[in-house]
Structure 1
């Protein structure tokens, strides 16, 4: 279970330079959106990995204490044997009273495994995109989950969650980063991308994302390992509408 990344974005900033800015009605204080990216390791704490303990309440507590509006989750189990045949996406949404969308990456252990999105806002649309990978048999299929969220009466944004390839080689991450840039290229609404990118700042993967997205911070805190973290591989970025 990695550390999470939590950041706040001003709604008005997301729409800056947008042709839709004159149609947006926000409060004078320019409300912010709190965004969180969290790799939950199928709700199995690292300290109890050998026992296979599942502690969804602990995950919910971490999220609840930070009061995010949008959460990108990675390593989510749905009805797998190892997690006790529970739907982690549904149960987290119920515990937190949030809307959700789950995107399956692979079939795993009698169930499904992938990424998910939790949203305090109504979700009006959702898609799952398959991301490319090379022919290496060890490479897992990866996906991009994207939703449209209504943040105010006439204000909509797009929010995406992903988990890129974890192999030592950058090859698949580079393929996947380019594909995500291609998928999101034509977005007309502001879009926030959050996830476990398995890539550090300055890597070719992050440099590719930097051509299309504005990173919310360039000196974010370290996110792994859980104890004595020493590098950042979880990121949040946005592009304006």
Structure 2
């Protein structure tokens, strides 16, 4: 008699492996780090080691950081984007907002996965203000492209509305996963966030306040994914970190369903 069990056993293993590959999970972190200057310390003090330690403890796959100094006197002329990548062992992409004191200031994306493509877009500012940018990286998982976007929106409402309109137009036709994170300088009930929610689903928890670092009372730091894909949020929480920055970090897991 031929053994018909063995081929079915092999097929079962192969099927389970395929299912494992499709069951994706991504750990996401967003954090406005205040150029690594702890609010309780003197303005000349920076502590990138603490920021890196927070990131490593979360084991995040993709990280969006805002308020990054590159070669500025106030942060000891350190390229904070490059240094944080070194300290965490991650790939990185810096997106400049402005030139400042012979250096640059903006946002950075850290990724455990190789960056296939990176893009920087200057966001519109109808009212004169500090320039803001949208940084985007492309990574590949299981043969599919995932876009991870990081930004820090303006303090002025008219500019935030124009900037969110730009972001919506950029991603409205994407079919594969887009993750948007950042300090959006708006509360969930305000128009910029409501506009983004036409295209994105916002991760949320009750009283998910992110600023100030001690006794936070506002939520302005967000993680979102574009609508119409199979991914869902899990384990959303704001980290109880009160030393490293004037914001608290936001962590979310995204799972394929």
User: TM-score, normalization: structure 1?
Assistant: 0.83
Number of residue pairs matched by the alignment: 211
Residue 149 (str. 1) matches residue 139 (str. 2) = yes
Instruction: State the alpha-carbon separation in 2 of the partners of residues 185 and 218 from structure 1.
Output: 25
Residue 140 (str. 1) matches residue 156 (str. 2) = no
C-alpha deviation, 1:231, in angstroms: 1.0
Runs of 4+ in 1 over 6 A off after TM superposition: none
Instruction: State the alpha-carbon separation in 2 of the partners of residues 140 and 220 from structure 1.
Output: 30
Residue 38 (str. 1) matches residue 27 (str. 2) = no
Contact map agreement 2:37 2:43 (CA 8 A) in 1: no
Deviations 1:154-196 (A, max 9, x none): 13200000000024xx111111111110111232431000000
Deviations 1:63-104 (A, max 9, x none): 111110000110011111111111111111111110000011
C-alpha deviation, 1:38, in angstroms: 0.5
Contact map agreement 2:127 2:159 (CA 8 A) in 1: no
2:94 to 87, 92, 102: 102
C-alpha deviation, 1:35, in angstroms: 0.5
Contact map agreement 1:122 1:151 (CA 8 A) in 2: no
Contact map agreement 2:93 2:109 (CA 8 A) in 1: yes
State the match for 1:68 in structure 2: 60
Contact map agreement 2:72 2:78 (CA 8 A) in 1: yes
Contact map agreement 1:82 1:109 (CA 8 A) in 2: no
C-alpha deviation, 1:26, in angstroms: 5.0
State the match for 1:159 in structure 2: 148
C-alpha deviation, 1:135, in angstroms: 3.2
Residue 226 (str. 1) matches residue 216 (str. 2) = no
User: TM-score, normalization: structure 2?
Assistant: 0.78
Residue 177 (str. 1) matches residue 169 (str. 2) = no
Q: Could you list the runs of 5+ residues in structure 2 that have no partner in the other structure?
A: 1-17, 230-257
Aligned-residue RMSD, C-alpha: 1.6
Contact map agreement 2:136 2:147 (CA 8 A) in 1: yes
C-alpha deviation, 1:39, in angstroms: 0.4
